[in-house]
Structure 1
């Protein structure tokens, strides 16, 4: 088994190296007004209208006007060199209407390309920037404008991954106290990620794979891969400490804890798969492709990890570190600290319940102020080309130039291109120009077939300003007889995305909650526990969104997580470290899918232990205390690893990664402490025997898949002498 997994990882990695990792930048939103505008834009309006077909080079001379003779000569030489670059069909001079700022120090060279690979926008932009050598030699700054879509932005997170693995290793060393035991989850997770990324890379030759997919797969796969292996390893070491022979300990571990891992992974996959209903090809693909990494994590946990345990035997406890970790306890002996906490919660459930709800409500309250919007390049890394070009364009041409509107009207009757433009084109341009919030309108362009008109318009507001969305709606409301007006561009796309997400969010949440509850019903054969567990996961989401609102929407420490204040913010310590940052409208839905699945992992692990204890003792209070005691340390260690991985990603300069890092880290921390340590145990104590109530008719129709019925089976001579019987999981001593 070990050889098979290593060969699979090596073969798939080699395959991606040889064949490449094709990716797609499909960020279309089918059925929206912006999508229709983009489709019309590609039909007969000249070169460079395909995705990645236009590249802008921003010029800036701090010493004098670009119109000075030395600068003009250098610019003309650069235009000649640019036109020689392969696939370039047009290079527009900055000395044109709309091409140079009023101060004459900032200009834009617009390059249009055809026949190139749109997926290689970064490489094409670098080639064009290199061709601008004559201008650079004249002392003029040349910065490529960021014309990429969200899917074009390839996120390289190597340092963050390394930091996350190192932090996970430290937590595992402290938890187990032995080097060998600590290395097993790391090794299994890395093999899992290698296989998963290899599969995703090769799938790029068959289906559209977004560039964000490997990043999401790595983040989720690393976290769950280590967690699942940790859960199995902890169980195995407890069985060894109880005197169970190696191979019987492996069998028992996979029979019980392995089943819990399969069901826990299933909830993560369900939550990610729900993104299929989001209405976006990008999010839909991200959902099921990221699910591949979870499948690999589950498979390595129930096959590779047992193989390693069988090979190592008692050597799993080798290379013990002094003064770190504790010796594994017996199979039914909970860690004393968590056991005492469980007993304390069991004695005062109402107090704990009320206190937990109050704390969680306070954490979630700021979520009411969560502000969604477009996270434009004005919030990008301070030293990046995207941020620099954004600021230069805003200074020279106004903030709206970074998110122009593409207004395209479908005409009822064919018109001919002429100078001046036909009457209907002029009327349309005038109506757009006189719309409140529009700063500038370019000359209208007529389609080759004469059935559509395109107008580029610039608003008074930056793409991240909520007022920019109002301008889009106002332009879409223009009524010109004989013309059907559509609006595209980045801002229009964000407006349509917000509406689509608002429309689909209830459906996605409902499907995730219902399917997860059904999966838990199969796992534990307890309807109340299944419904309660699904609802509890929504509570941790409230805390995550509350943290996002505090940090980004209210700006309480946005600079402290590494965000760079936009140029419009005044200098000063307070302004540089505490400023509001918009959150992209699709982020909450993606966070919901990821967090719901990850939170359910800990719920499954805790409920499995409580159910097993209940089957042995028949005492609900004791079962809750024992379940919390036996899993508290494992869940805490797993949560620390998750939090460490996600916090490491906060250090990455991309703002979107920071938002995900903060949200995921806070949610996991709250989930593993307040919710699993206090809220869930207190509610289970109060429900008593109702926790495991199941109507007879339901018990008869449910398939025998319960994970807790065999989860605590001990080999003969090593158990507690109690026999488990019945498909419904009722032991002899169960009430």
Structure 2
């Protein structure tokens, strides 16, 4: 692969305009295809095999009017007077004129009459509706002008989330500043951003095309953007840094691009492949929402890797020596060879300090990570709802009005659906009585019969709100103890209960698959069971620390207001498994770049501790810059309005920051110093079985040719 990448880099740098033109054609074609053939994003939370899904399918068959989406219109008199019946009748007529509205319920007044709820039923999914919130606002405008407070709730207004681009702008701006500081050249700083833009543009066009053939959630493009920006900039940064080193050493622009692609480019390919495998693990969750998100993010990652090893060399060929600072360019123009600035004194000094006393440093770092991860033991996951939104949002104000006037449970009513082909109609009164007597039930209404009178449904209002653990317990109680065969529970809380249960069940499967795959890849690349196992454990510690911080901030409410959340909320069910799949792959990037340098020095010198010092010194600046960029991008997304993206951004920023500091600067040198030559122990029988793969291409300290070939080398015996 090293030779192939060298040829690719050399060709792109020698013919930059041809390469750039080809990428522009691909980008234009991808965008044109997305505009003409792309589909709309759909939040379809189907759960194959779940009881709530079986109930939803039966509901759509027997009650066609309930087959689409719904919304709630909450009308409130600020003075506390009863809302006039004439006003509610007029509003109901207005709502019935809205496109795709099939039914509007009779107004449901509160006990004191100053609030009323009208439920609006549609015949289409929410993402098939054109500006549905605007249509509702137009229909309720006259009621607002009459002096009443009108708030919108339910699936339609809660599902509409339009990114404003703030998160992306913050991340890109921060990345540019960091790149300028790292490179000292605006040309060099701009190249990674250009590469990331190409990769992300084509990747997002692909996501749009994917949406034409399958259901893709509305948060998927944002998640893919978050990963694409971070990885695109990082991968380009690694290759561009190596290109600058080769120029300083006196190589020509074309030769430097080829060698950078053969070395750092090969690390990028391996790291990207690890990320791909990790993200694709989401397909094993058993929820289509996750599978499509994983495939979409994987597609963006794959295109980003291809852009880094093919488009970036073309940009480097065009930029030439302008990627260096003025003093370096002047020195090269005078015929001098600028020494490659790979020795970073602070990282070398730090590694030596840790290496002299590895045990106390290692224990201190381990205890710190365990302390950060400790709140993980109290983590409660639950899908977020309108109660988690800021008070400036109409869905949150509607939620609060309903809770105050009708009780918390009215925000998450359960629908009990009874198949009358399996349950006799004369059993319904006794069933209603049992439902009313069930612990945790506040009120039962119904039954409502289907048009063919082959099904009936009851509305069950719990005592507790949708996010309360007791509401989930009520769902299980109804299913296990109250309902006969042929009865199902559907509704928001029932679906959320099944989602939480499914994710909790599959999380350990995903963790096992991803960790096992990563162990095999690391073993093949670094030819050391100890190094592979140690890297996997350290990644788990970083992710655990990020989970702990999420629990402390969001679930315990420690500083939650800083992120625009008015009160403590459970960790979203989607977040832990998404974070794990994304972070385990991303963390491997830094492991690959650091450990490859350490291994190269060890094979050259046989010095266990010295190789760690040299490896940290060689990679300190570039990995620190890459980590800062990742953290900046993820923190920007932590300011997104969507709670899932907000939690993902913060959790991933914490994990990368921990990985780049506590793990890389303390745990890695401490553990490798303690283990010494045992780090690279490999049984002879396993050595014969494993293929030989160089994760960083040619040896940085040897004079391989510009094609990236590696001279023969002698393996240092490690026992």
Pair in the same fold by TM > 0.5: yes
Worse-superposed segment, 709-718 or 659-668: 709-718
* Distance (whole Å) between structure 2 residues aligned to residue 207 and residue 320 of structure 1: 54
- Is the CA contact 1:75–1:134 (under 8 Å) kept in the aligned structure 2? no
Partner of 1:574: none
Structure 1 residues 146 and 90, CA gap change in structure 2 (3 angstroms): closer
Partner of 2:119: 110
CA positional deviation for 1:46? 4.6
* Distance (whole Å) between structure 2 residues aligned to residue 597 and residue 717 of structure 1: 31
- Is the CA contact 2:382–2:467 (under 8 Å) kept in the aligned structure 1? yes
Structure 1 residues 44 and 698, CA gap change in structure 2 (3 angstroms): same
Partner of 2:89: 76
* Distance (whole Å) between structure 1 residues aligned to residue 430 and residue 703 of structure 2: 85
Identify the match of residue 485 of structure 1 among 484, 487, 490: 487
CA positional deviation for 1:129? 2.8
2:292 pairs with 1:285: yes
Note the alpha carbon deviations across 1:162-195, whole angstroms, 9 max, x for none.
Answer: 1110000011111111111111111111111111
CA positional deviation for 1:581? 1.9
* Distance (whole Å) between structure 2 residues aligned to residue 533 and residue 684 of structure 1: 11
2:687 pairs with 1:674: no
Note the alpha carbon deviations across 1:18-37, whole angstroms, 9 max, x for none.
Answer: 44442222201111111111
* Distance (whole Å) between structure 2 residues aligned to residue 328 and residue 297 of structure 1: 33
Structure 1 residues 540 and 470, CA gap change in structure 2 (3 angstroms): same
Structure 1 residues 352 and 515, CA gap change in structure 2 (3 angstroms): same
Note the alpha carbon deviations across 1:517-566, whole angstroms, 9 max, x for none.
Answer: 1112222222221222122110101110111122122221111222123x
- Is the CA contact 1:563–1:653 (under 8 Å) kept in the aligned structure 2? no
Equivalent positions of 1:22-171 (< 5 A) are 22-47=40-65, 49-52=66-69, 54-63=70-79, 65-68=81-84, 72-94=85-107, 99-114=108-123, 116=124, 118-121=126-129, 123-148=131-156, 152-171=159-178
CA positional deviation for 1:448? 4.1
CA positional deviation for 1:41? 1.2
- TM-score w.r.t. the length of structure 2 is 0.91
Equivalent positions of 1:415-454 (< 5 A) are 422-454=425-457
Equivalent positions of 1:233-272 (< 5 A) are 233-272=240-279
Identify the match of residue 193 of structure 1 among 179, 193, 200: 200
- Is the CA contact 2:94–2:140 (under 8 Å) kept in the aligned structure 1? yes
Worse-superposed segment, 170-179 or 202-211: 202-211
Structure 1 residues 320 and 220, CA gap change in structure 2 (3 angstroms): farther
CA positional deviation for 1:288? 1.4
Note the alpha carbon deviations across 1:613-648, whole angstroms, 9 max, x for none.
Answer: 223322221111000011111111111111111111
Note the alpha carbon deviations across 1:588-637, whole angstroms, 9 max, x for none.
Answer: 11111111111111111101111222233222211110000111111111
- Is the CA contact 2:222–2:645 (under 8 Å) kept in the aligned structure 1? no
- Is the CA contact 1:414–1:450 (under 8 Å) kept in the aligned structure 2? no
Equivalent positions of 1:492-571 (< 5 A) are 492-565=494-567
Worse-superposed segment, 299-308 or 18-27: 18-27
Partner of 1:570: none
Equivalent positions of 1:212-611 (< 5 A) are 212-317=219-324, 330-331=339-340, 333-411=342-420, 413=422, 422-479=425-482, 483-565=485-567, 580-611=568-599
Worse-superposed segment, 423-432 or 7-16: 7-16
* Distance (whole Å) between structure 2 residues aligned to residue 264 and residue 597 of structure 1: 8
Note the alpha carbon deviations across 1:413-438, whole angstroms, 9 max, x for none.
Answer: 475xxxxxx43111111111111111
* Distance (whole Å) between structure 2 residues aligned to residue 440 and residue 716 of structure 1: 78
Note the alpha carbon deviations across 1:28-59, whole angstroms, 9 max, x for none.
Answer: 11111111111111122251x1241x222111
- Is the CA contact 2:412–2:466 (under 8 Å) kept in the aligned structure 1? yes
CA positional deviation for 1:158? 0.5
CA positional deviation for 1:485? 2.6
* Distance (whole Å) between structure 1 residues aligned to residue 101 and residue 386 of structure 2: 26
* Distance (whole Å) between structure 1 residues aligned to residue 482 and residue 337 of structure 2: 75
Partner of 2:333: none
What CA RMSD, in Å, does the superposition of the two structures yield over aligned residues? 2.6
Structure 1 residues 195 and 713, CA gap change in structure 2 (3 angstroms): farther
SS in 2 for 1:63: coil
CA positional deviation for 1:710? 2.0
- Is the CA contact 2:144–2:150 (under 8 Å) kept in the aligned structure 1? yes
Identify the match of residue 680 of structure 2 among 692, 707, 710: 692
- Is the CA contact 1:263–1:523 (under 8 Å) kept in the aligned structure 2? no
SS in 2 for 1:409: strand
2:32 pairs with 1:14: yes
* Distance (whole Å) between structure 2 residues aligned to residue 711 and residue 603 of structure 1: 17
- Is the CA contact 2:82–2:112 (under 8 Å) kept in the aligned structure 1? no
Worse-superposed segment, 256-265 or 161-170: 256-265
- Is the CA contact 1:367–1:542 (under 8 Å) kept in the aligned structure 2? yes
CA positional deviation for 1:731? 4.8
Structure 1 residues 732 and 581, CA gap change in structure 2 (3 angstroms): closer
* Distance (whole Å) between structure 2 residues aligned to residue 716 and residue 401 of structure 1: 71
- Is the CA contact 1:176–1:182 (under 8 Å) kept in the aligned structure 2? yes
CA positional deviation for 1:285? 1.2
- Is the CA contact 1:178–1:320 (under 8 Å) kept in the aligned structure 2? no
CA positional deviation for 1:210? 1.5
Which segments of 5 or more consecutive residues in structure 2 lack a partner in the other structure?
Answer: 1-18, 329-335
Partner of 2:712: 725
Worse-superposed segment, 180-189 or 58-67: 58-67
Equivalent positions of 1:169-208 (< 5 A) are 169-208=176-215
Tell me which protein shows more helix as a share of its residues.
Answer: 2
CA positional deviation for 1:689? 2.4
- Is the CA contact 1:437–1:471 (under 8 Å) kept in the aligned structure 2? yes
* Distance (whole Å) between structure 1 residues aligned to residue 548 and residue 338 of structure 2: 39
Partner of 2:16: none
Flag the structure with more relative contact order, 1 or 2, with Cα contacts below 8 A and sequence separation at least 6.
2
Equivalent positions of 1:613-652 (< 5 A) are 613-652=601-640
- Is the CA contact 2:592–2:695 (under 8 Å) kept in the aligned structure 1? no
* Distance (whole Å) between structure 2 residues aligned to residue 66 and residue 19 of structure 1: 51
Instruction: Figure out how many residues of one structure are paired with residues of the other and give that number.
Output: 694
CA positional deviation for 1:718? 11
* Distance (whole Å) between structure 1 residues aligned to residue 252 and residue 462 of structure 2: 73
SS in 2 for 1:42: helix
Structure 1 residues 333 and 663, CA gap change in structure 2 (3 angstroms): closer
